[in-house]
Amino acid sequence: MSQEAIVLFAHGARDPEWAVPARQVAAEVQRLRPDVSVSVAFLEFMEPTLADAVDAAAAAGARVLRVVPLFVARGGHLKKDVPVLIEAAQAKHPDCRIELAAVVGEDAGVVHAMAVYAAGA
């Protein structure tokens, strides 16, 4: 296994079909980065949790973990809850570097793609 892992982090929902897009993104990331372990984790209602995903990646040998929030904007969960989760994961795995990426929905390319879609272009 690579020493790098990417954890796509989504909110989660009670309906299992809700996770399909996140898993599709994970499959595409894995296609783009076959050298890196890619997984999906959820804040609530679904598994694995972020802690579980970080534990699994670290156990498999990852030493650099990039957590990518699949959220449209940085709201309350990302301002309050997620930093606590990242801090706890980092404390549990001091031999790993856990990086929290910017929220995917705030990336200029993603904003543009959503605008193109909304415009019907």
Choose, from 11, 77, 93, 112, the residue flagged as catalytic: 11
In the block, tokens 């990336």 appear at 107
Contact 85, 79 (CB under 8 A): no
Tell me if residue 77 is catalytic.
no
Instruction: Give the 3-state secondary structure of residue 7.
Output: strand
39 bridge partner residues:
7
Supply the residues annotated as catalytic. 11
